């Protein structure tokens, strides 16, 4: 398996623009997680899905953020409109179970810069 | 509340020296515990995990961690650090029914 695949690796956009981050989880993993990492706040869980259904989105900072998982092999995190304070590294992770014995497998992340 | 705490934000060691990174947890029952490593520009990679049984667990890259219930700790150790070990290390805890909780991370700098 190729692991969790995220695209793009880097994204630079202007304030006010829409940004879409993409994730392909490991095949067979029922859980998908979106995290944001910043120097100030560390690693934050934004939202997670179980079998393509959003379960907990309490970490989504505000209505400008939305996430979807239209099928088991694809998820998106969208920011519209983007703001400079959204600059961060966004990670996608997947797992067989929630309370998992195998831990989470992370993608390489998308480094977002909003100017 | 369930939590994982890494008391050290930044640690510096010399190459060849021993290493211990601290992790404390707060859970009602014994949690699953993990250590992850994040190299610059990369995602988090699982180093090792503890569920039950032997309290000393071995991981990849020569790392080990010891679960100590009496101290609510799960410290990561390596006998001799290599320059390539410079990275950020995350401790995480979870239960059989809940999502993982990550610590704030410890940045390791290795001096030649």
Contact B99 A42 (CB under 8 A): no
Q: In chain B, positions 32-91, which contact chain A (CB-CB < 8 Å)?
A: 32, 34, 36, 41-46, 49, 51, 90
- Residue A100's pLDDT is what? 57
Q: Which residues of B touch A105 (CB under 8 A)?
A: 46
B48 CB-near residues (< 8 Å, 6+ apart): B34, B35, B57, B58, B59, B60, B63, B64, B65, B76
Query: A16: distance to nearest CA of chain B, Å?
Result: 26
* Chain A residues with CB-CB distance to B97 below 8 A: 98-99
Give whole-number Cα distances, B83 to B17, B36, B39, B62, B75, in Å: 11, 18, 12, 13, 20
* Contact (CB, 8 A) for B96 and A99: yes
**What does the pLDDT look like over B41-69, one tens digit per residue?**
888 999 999 988 889 999 999 999 999 99
| pLDDT tens-digit readout, B4-36 | 999 999 999 999 999 999 999 998 777 899 999
A72-104 pLDDT, tens digit each: 999 999 999 999 999 999 999 999 877 656 678
Rounded mean pLDDT of chain A? 93
pLDDT of residue A102: 67
DSSP-derived secondary structure letter, A109: -
- Judged by a CB distance cut-off of 8 A, whether residue A91 touches chain B is yes
């Amino acid at each position: 398996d190729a692991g969790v695949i995220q695209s793009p690796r880097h994204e630079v956009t202007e304030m006010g623009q829409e940004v879409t981050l993409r994730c392909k989880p490991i095949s067979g993993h029922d859980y998908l997680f979106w995290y944001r990492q910043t120097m100030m706040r560390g690693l934050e869980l934004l939202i997670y899905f179980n079998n393509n259904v959003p379960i907990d989105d309490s970490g989504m900072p505000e209505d400008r953020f939305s996430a979807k998982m239209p099928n088991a092999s694809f998820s998106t995190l969208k920011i519209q409109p983007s703001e400079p304070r959204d600059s961060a590294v966004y990670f996608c992770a997947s797992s067989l179970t929630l309370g998992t014995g195998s831990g989470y497998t992370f993608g390489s992340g998308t480094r977002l810069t909003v100017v | 509340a369930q939590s994982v705490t890494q008391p050290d934000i930044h640690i510096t060691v010399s190459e060849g020296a021993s290493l211990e990174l601290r992790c404390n947890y707060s859970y009602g029952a014994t949690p699953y515990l993990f250590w992850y490593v994040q190299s610059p520009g990369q995602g988090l990679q699982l180093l090792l995990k503890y569920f039950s049984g032997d309290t000393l667990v071995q991981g990849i890259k020569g790392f080990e961690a010891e679960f100590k219930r009496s101290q609510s700790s799960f410290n990561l150790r390596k006998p001799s650090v290599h320059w390539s070990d410079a990275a950020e290390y995350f401790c995480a805890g979870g239960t059989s029914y809940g999502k993982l909780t990550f610590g704030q991370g410890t940045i390791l700098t290795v001096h030649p």
